[in-house]
A and B are shown apart, each in its own frame.
Chain A
């Protein structure tokens, strides 16, 4: 159970990072 949970949260934080990167790129002039 914990291994699956860890994979899930890693995936979630990767997606969050992706959103932050896309936001930073969007705001580049």
Chain B
């Protein structure tokens, strides 16, 4: 069984979950724990938005099937079976990405990879809300990463040098 792809997300859910499913797809091989929690977060978001239209139900059932299968396949991965370890895993990964982007930014390296790192780290900080309220620090980093990704992107498009 393969993961329900980005193209199959119904229109009623696309705006809310597409970005998290994309991060999941990008991490399926690189870090299956990150992929698992991105899909879990997308599942929860989607269920809160639309679980009654036939298209949404069909998508949600296939996403749930895949999540259950992933959890079984990752039976030796404690971060999937214990959400406290899972939370630490996602948090470390998000912060590592954030620090990479921040260091690159401060070194004057502005590129698509820096924008993407800021953006992905902020999305993973969204995913962290699965485990409860965010700490003040993470909340601050999440806002900064979202703003910075938009800002650098705007500068690159308009030809300005980011400050």
A binding-site residues for B, Cβ under 8 Å: 12, 15-16, 19-20, 22-23, 26-27, 29
Contacts and interface: CB of A to CB of B under 8 A. Distances in A.
Interface of B: 40, 43-44, 47, 51-52, 57, 60-61, 64, 67-68, 71, 81-83
Contacts of A16: 51-52, 57
Main SS at interface, chain B: helix
Contacts of B40: 26-27
Nearest to A12: B52
B77 to A, nearest CB: 13
A22 B51 CA distance: 14
Q: In terms of DSSP, what is the predominant structure of the interface of chain A?
A: helix
Contact of B71 (A12, A15, A26): A26
A19 B82 contact: no
